[in-house]
Structure 1
Amino acid sequence: MRIEKLLRPAGLIVVAAGLVFQVAEPVRPRTITLVVVVGAVALGLVSLAPGRGRQLVIARWVMAVLLALDFGGAVADRLGVLGGPGVVGVTWGDWDHFVASTGQLLPWAPRPLVVAAALGATVVESVLTVWLLSGWRRRTAGVVAAGLLAVFLVSMLSTVGTARVAMNAVPLLVGGALLLAAQQPLHRTSRSSRSISLNAG
């Protein structure tokens, strides 16, 4: 079985598990994260519906944009673009606070490795922001996004606990990225349609 065939059921399972997790946790996601969560759930529902072609293309595009905004917003936050530390709605507010937060996820790591991990995560999230918005090889972008978010999920669960995971709704973001990766690219669908039309003619 090709890996693509596993992505859709895996995404649906992770989204369902993420919903159960969010309901069980008293902590609610922040507004921006909540919008991305709604997109992930909507993509899951649309992918289950029959005759979902056009709606699925739209849901896929929306999910990609929402994930891009989430990654881009996180990068902007750690660079102080959204306000300084302590401002409402801001998680870090500057680079130093972000590095300190990264250190909480890697308590065993020496300072140079923590800084390198923080820089690496920032570079990958910045690339994903542009990549997801570009629409180029969106399936691959979804796989990379899901992998990065899964690393965050494991690190957070083993260090800072479930409350922070729930605040960022990480399981639902992983599921949304998997569902994004599971969908057929639009250009492939268009080619198939043209081929059918030519054969019919």
Structure 2
Amino acid sequence: MEDSFKIPQLLLRCALGITFLTPVLDRLGILGPAGTGNIEWGNWENFINYTATLMPYLDRSVTNVMGGIATASELIIAVGLIIGFKTKYVAIGSCLLTFTFILFMATSVGIQKPINFGVFTASAASLLLSYVPKYKWSIDEINRKAA
């Protein structure tokens, strides 16, 4: 049977990877200052302020740590998806992380925010990606052929 997932899985990996990478670049100020173009935060402080609205019951220092964990997780997931390294597990992690975002966003700022930000779509797409049998054009494929 022909592998009909070659191009769709590559496009999905890249789309999800970029979806995770751009907010990281935004909150680090790499994409520009807040208020310009489609910049959501523009710096770390604005991102932590938003994170505090999602977790109002946490102390500011804990919120900063949680923002750091989320940022590191998003960066690892972005790179893993784009290069196709441990793709199945990274996709599962992506699904779990986005589902966590859905829960925090829905309970603190309402259900419309995760809908507007496409978090439901990213979560479902990540779960779907984890079920693809082979990841063509990936580190996983190189490792599979070498084994």
TM-score for both structures, normalised by structure 1: 0.65
**Aligned residues: percent identity?**
25
Residues 17-166 of structure 1: matches in 2 within 5 Å? 53-54=3-4, 56-166=5-115
Cα distance between partner residues in 2 of 1:65 and 1:91: 21
- Could you tell me whether the CA contact under 8 Å between 1:139 and 1:185 is conserved in 2? no
Deviations 1:34-89 (A, max 9, x none): xxxxxxxxxxxxxxxxx7733x2211111111111111101000011111111121
- Could you tell me whether the CA contact under 8 Å between 1:106 and 1:155 is conserved in 2? yes
2:144 aligned partner:
none
Number of residues of Structure 1 aligned to a counterpart in Structure 2 = 138
Distance 1:98 1:183, change over 3 A: same
Amino acid at match of 2:3: G
For residue 53 of structure 1, give the secondary structure of its aligned residue in structure 2: coil
2:125 aligned partner:
176
State the superposition RMSD in angstroms.
1.8
Q: Which stretches in structure 2 are left out of the alignment for 5+ residues?
A: 142-147
- Could you tell me whether the CA contact under 8 Å between 2:87 and 2:135 is conserved in 1? no
Distance 1:185 1:105, change over 3 A: same
| Larger CA deviation: 147-156 vs 165-174 | 165-174
Bigger RCO (CA 8 Å, 6+ sep) = 1
Cα distance between partner residues in 2 of 1:52 and 1:173: 27
Distance 1:131 1:108, change over 3 A: same
Distance 1:90 1:52, change over 3 A: farther
TM-score for both structures, normalised by structure 2: 0.87
Cα distance between partner residues in 2 of 1:122 and 1:137: 19
